[in-house]
């Protein structure tokens, strides 16, 4: 099962992703892609850490999420990737930029095609384009790339859910 949970900022997507993940078969692994670059984001990461059970195994991946997912697929029955938007952002860093966003996305889609049937993977991502049009070209480019990534992962997913005000709205179920 490949699952995508989308939502805006503070929509409840991470909490719902964690709930679905905890209901899945063990062993479980959470792949955290966000890397704190400021105090507010450090606080958000800390809040996420305290919200989950201490026995949940976590691996912080940044841009290296795809190799981590490939490795985890053979060892874990349930994998939560939180989140695709921060992964895409990390892929734009100087170290990862040589491959480009498109190369990283293609690697992810190839990985999903090889995912073992007994492994459940849940992705969390911000739904792009729900807000005002960004003023800068750089942010508009990122929003477009995130939208394309979400569409590609949704197409490869068995289940897609949009979180609105903490409520899951299922867009796709197989």
Torsion of CA 153, 156, 159, 162, to 10 degrees: 20
Q: Which one of the listed residues 48, 59, 77, 99 is annotated catalytic?
A: 48
101 is catalytic: no
Which residues are known binding-site members? 7-14, 32-34, 49-52, 60, 82
Task: Report yes or no: 88 and 103 within 8 Å, Cβ to Cβ.
Answer: no
- DSSP designation for 75: T
Helix axis angle, 100-113 relative to 137-156, nearest 10°?
10
State residue 78 phi and psi, 5-degree precision: -130, 130
Other Cβ atoms closer than 10 A to 41:
13
- State the binding site for GTP: 7-14, 32-34, 49-52, 60, 82
Q: Where are the beta strands (DSSP E) in 21-129?
A: 28-32, 57-60, 78-82, 120-126
Among 35, 117, 133, 9, CA closest to 73: 117
Q: Which residues are part of the catalytic machinery?
A: 48
């Amino acid at each position: 099962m490949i699952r995508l949970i989308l939502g805006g900022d503070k929509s409840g997507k991470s909490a719902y992703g964690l709930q679905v993940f905890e209901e899945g078969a063990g062993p479980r692994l959470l792949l955290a892609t966000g890397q704190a670059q400021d105090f507010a984001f450090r606080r958000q990461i800390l809040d996420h850490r305290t919200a989950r059970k201490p026995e949940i195994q976590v691996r912080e991946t940044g841009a290296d999420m795809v190799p981590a997912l490939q490795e985890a697929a053979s060892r874990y029955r349930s994998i939560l990737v939180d989140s695709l938007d921060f992964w895409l952002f990390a892929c734009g860093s100087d170290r990862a930029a040589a491959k480009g966003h498109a190369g990283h996305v293609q690697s992810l889609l190839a990985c999903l095609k090889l995912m073992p049937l007994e492994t459940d993977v849940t992705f969390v991502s911000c739904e792009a384009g729900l807000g005002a049009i960004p003023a800068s070209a750089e942010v508009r480019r990122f929003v477009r790339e995130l939208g394309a990534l979400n569409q590609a992962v949704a197409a490869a997913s068995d289940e897609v859910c949009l979180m609105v005000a903490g409520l899951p709205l299922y867009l796709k179920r197989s």
